[in-house]
Amino acid sequence: MSESPVSVEVDGQILIVTLDRPKANAVDAPTSRALYDAFVQLRDDPNLRVGIITGGGEKFFCAGWDLKAATEGESAGADWGGGGFAGITEFWDLGKPVIAAVNGYAYGGGFELALAADLIVAAEHAVFALTEARLGLAADAGGLFRVPARLPRAIAFELLATGRRMSAQEAHNWGLVNRVVPQSELMAEAKDLALSLIESAPISVAAILEVMDATYGMNPQDGFARIRAGLPHYSKVYASEDAQEGPRAFVEGRPPVWQGR
């Protein structure tokens, strides 16, 4: 095992975060804080545009909360860091997109970690499950909210209350996963998706994330009222240099050069 359970790699404007805690990439409190530090790096570095979170190996993306640590006294109220469990499930001001490259089992908090990302690319053999109820727990690192918001109530309740496994293909069919690819193509596909995001203006992407989060579950009328009341990123879009650069580049037939302002 590496010295740190979390490693980061900068690939151009992409930050690749790898959770590597054999055997199951389970998360204890120190690991959660290390993940948070990695996502803070993504947020704070202006040269970084997109994050990719994946697991070490090919069997586990993340098995969720480290139950060995739990039996040794770590409580659900432990200090997970500023982003909540796994560093991102409650990271509200990240402002940049994250792609989960799910390379294997995503169980319990591991599924919740993937759900906290904005996009999911899964290997064909990946499996998703919310196992908490089988352990006398509850999926309170986001699963209780994010799954019912994205799936029909009956399917969401089944996943939450029975812990049944969902294949990558089924998750794709329900719209939880963006792309399903062979394991050998997983990271290339995640990077390709990241590059497609980088082609868009960073201020636009930040505004889209902000508006989607701020208007989650609202009807259109309330959504319009919310954005007109003022949102930091959205309010800057149309007065930005990038808003001038985009149309200019289109007319001139060249790729835009984004400034992020």
State the distance between the two ends of the chain, measured CA to CA, in whole angstroms: 41
Q: Measure the CA–CA gap between 34 and 195, rounded to whole angstroms.
A: 25
Q: Residues 58, 72, 112, 185: which is the catalytic one?
A: 112
Q: Is residue 170 annotated as a catalytic residue, yes or no?
A: no
Q: Is 39 helix (H, G, I), strand (E, B) or coil?
A: helix
Its domain, for residue 129, covers: 6-198
Within this chain, do residues 146 and 227 fall inside the same structural domain, yes or no? no
If one counts the domains in the chain, the total is 2
* Residue 157 to residue 55: CA distance in whole angstroms: 27
Contact in structure between 15 and 42 (CB atoms under 8 Å): yes
The pLDDT of residue 77: 80
- CA distance linking residue 189 with residue 131, whole number of Å: 28
Residue 10 lies in a domain: yes
Res 167: pLDDT: 98
Question: Which domain CATH number covers 141?
Answer: 3.90.226.10
Same domain, 140 and 67: yes
Mean pLDDT, 10 residues at a time, the chain of 261 residues: 84 98 95 97 97 96 89 81 96 96 97 98 98 94 96 97 97 98 98 97 95 94 94 92 93 92 87
In sequence order, what are the residues at sequence separation of 6 or more whose Cβ sits closer than 8 angstroms to the Cβ of residue 200?
A: none
Specify if 1 maps to a domain: no
DSSP three-state, residue 127: strand
Q: Which of 153, 171, 198 is the last residue of a domain?
A: 198
189 is catalytic: no
176/246 same-domain check: no
From the candidates 9, 90, 132, 185, which is the catalytic residue? 132
Residues 94 and 221 in one domain: no
